[in-house]
């Protein structure tokens, strides 16, 4: 369930007006009892804008709306506007740099996403790509954890990561997935147009996405622990890309 630090809009008319406004919406919850024509106008808006929605019980809506009159619907408003993948590529072109993009596969912890946005800003990467489903979105917690970076980093939210990778490859990007068993990241060539893929906290990179990476890279692990937190691992790989870009010139 979404974090209570998200801004929540509830009530049928306010949610409809929110959707008509074009403002970024993370997700909409609808009362499962109302799976009928009463919700058809709202569902049409949601599907037209490709916004995730879910039918839930009245108890869930009551809890999320803190007992306010929600009329069987509430929406989670994004902490900031989402970008398009084209915006990220345009920023790289504007800076006259090779694209440097972070793609996150089903990262569910808002603290991990916030920390990674902070690193993305620090290394000068051009943006982040996240999936629309099974992933944390730009919530209030993410914004807070990012220490303001959410206002400076372009984040694109896409329906299909695999399709997005294929499109980026056509534009000349090389895709490196961070996964155990891959080539030592410190000996890999990470220069040139680059997409770094970081997998979920528990499962890593999904099979289809992994199969569409050009290479897999991993961090050397000399201790007893066999994996690192997603934001730590992602930050180390991003800084290795920055190091190579800076010193290979």
Predicted confidence band of residue 143 (pLDDT cuts 50, 70, 90): confident
Rounded Cα–Cα distance for residues 53 and 196 (Å): 29
pTM of the model: 0.79
Closest CA to 101 of 89, 83, 119: 89
Task: Dump the DSSP string for the chain.
Answer: ---TTSEEEESHHHHHHHHHHT--EEEEEEEGGG-SGGGHHHHHHHHHTT--EEEE-HHHHHHHTTTS--TTEEEEEPSS--B-HHHHHHHHHHTT---EEEEESS---HHHHHHHHHHHHHHT--EEEEESSSS--S-HHHHHHTTTGGGTS-EEEES-HHHHHHHHHHTT-EEEEEEEEEEETTTS---SSEEEEE-BTTTBS-HHHHHTSSEEEE----SS-----HHHHHHHHHHHHHHHHHH--
pLDDT digits (tens, 9 = 90+) for 27-68: 899 988 766 656 777 888 888 888 888 888 888 888 887 766
Instruction: Calculate the alpha carbon distances from 28 to 17, 33, 131, 211 in Å.
Output: 13, 15, 16, 32
- The hierarchical CATH code for the domain 85-247 is 3.40.1280.10
Domain spans in the chain, listed from the N-terminal domain onward: 7-77, 85-247
> Does position 177 have pLDDT exceeding 70, yes or no?
yes
Chain centre distance of CA 143:
13
pLDDT on residue 38: 63
Range 7-77 classified under CATH 1.10.287.3510: no
pLDDT digits (tens, 9 = 90+) for 96-111: 999 999 999 989 898 9
CB atoms within 10 A of CB 184: 10
Rounded Cα–Cα distance for residues 106 and 215 (Å): 19
Q: Between residues 102 and 229, which one has the greater pLDDT?
A: 102
Contacts of 215 (CB under 8 A, 6+ apart): 174, 175, 176, 177, 182, 183, 188
For residue 156, what are the β-bridge partners?
A: 83, 129
pLDDT on residue 91: 97
């Amino acid at each position: 369930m979404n974090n209570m630090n998200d801004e929540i809009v509830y009530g049928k008319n306010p949610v409809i007006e929110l959707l008509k406004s074009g403002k970024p919406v993370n997700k909409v919850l609808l009362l499962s009892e109302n799976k009928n024509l009463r919700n058809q106008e709202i569902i049409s808006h949601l599907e037209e804008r490709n916004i995730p929605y879910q039918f839930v019980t009245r108890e869930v809506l009551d809890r999320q709306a803190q007992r306010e009159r929600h009329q069987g619907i509430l929406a989670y408003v994004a902490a900031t506007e989402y970008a398009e993948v084209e915006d990220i590529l345009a920023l790289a072109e504007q800076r006259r740099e090779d694209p440097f993009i972070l793609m996150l596969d089903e990262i569910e912890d808002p603290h991990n996403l916030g920390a990674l946005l902070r690193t993305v800003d620090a290394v000068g990467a051009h943006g982040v790509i996240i999936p629309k489903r099974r992933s944390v979105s730009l919530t209030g917690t993410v914004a807070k954890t990012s220490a303001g970076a959410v206002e400076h980093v372009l984040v694109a939210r896409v329906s299909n990561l695999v399709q997005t990778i294929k499109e980026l490859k056509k534009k000349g990007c090389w895709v490196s997935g961070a996964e155990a068993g891959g080539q030592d990241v410190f000996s890999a060539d990470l220069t040139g147009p680059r997409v770094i893929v970081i997998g979920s906290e528990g499962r890593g990179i999904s099979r289809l996405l992994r199969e569409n990476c050009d290479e897999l890279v991993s961090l050397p692990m000399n201790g007893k622990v066999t994996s690192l937190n997603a934001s730590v691992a992602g930050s180390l790989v991003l800084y290795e890309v920055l190091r190579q870009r800076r010193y290979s010139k």
